[in-house]
Amino acid sequence: MQMKKLFCLLLLPMLLAGCATITNLTPSQYPRQASGFYRVEAEWKSRQATILPDSFQPLVMVGFDTYPMRPVPVVQDRWEAFIPIPADKDFVLYRYKFDYLVNAISKPHPDSLMSPEYTLKITGTK
């Protein structure tokens, strides 16, 4: 009986840890824009009830530069940002990072989730 309780206690953090996902909704390529800005969008999904919903700080990371994301109007759990891509570049590597607070027994603590790296290709004339 004691071993069963210990196993359940050890299993609980593993069940809560893998409950969040980031899905890239950005096309893999865009035609070149005169403005030099390109829209990227991601969906956040989580079954983890301890995440404080008002604590999200999603970012797009391009190299060492970060760009804040904002909620997509009307659609829940989707975030967007416009990232600059210089006219002399044909592609960029980017990833998403979601920082948030998790409710804990003593006080909320920070946590984050980072996506894999994606490539955005720019087509058309320079």
Grade residue 125 by pLDDT with cuts at 50, 70 and 90.
confident
Q: Taking the model in full, what pTM does it have?
A: 0.81
pLDDT over threshold 70, residue 22: yes
User: Own/partner pairs for 11-20, CB < 8 Å, 24+ apart?
Assistant: 16/48, 16/50, 19/46, 19/47, 19/48, 20/44, 20/45, 20/46, 20/47, 20/48, 20/51, 20/98, 20/113
* Architecture of the domain whose range is 19-123: Sandwich (2.60)
The pLDDT of residue 20 is above 90: no
Q: State the pLDDT at residue 8.
A: 43
- Predicted pLDDT of residue 1: 52
User: What is the domain partition of the chain in residue ranges?
Assistant: 19-123
- What are the pLDDT digits (tens) for 28-46? 999 999 999 999 999 999 8
Number of neighbours of residue 77 by Cβ within 10 angstroms: 13
pLDDT (tens digit per residue) in 46-77:
888 899 888 989 999 999 999 999 999 999 89
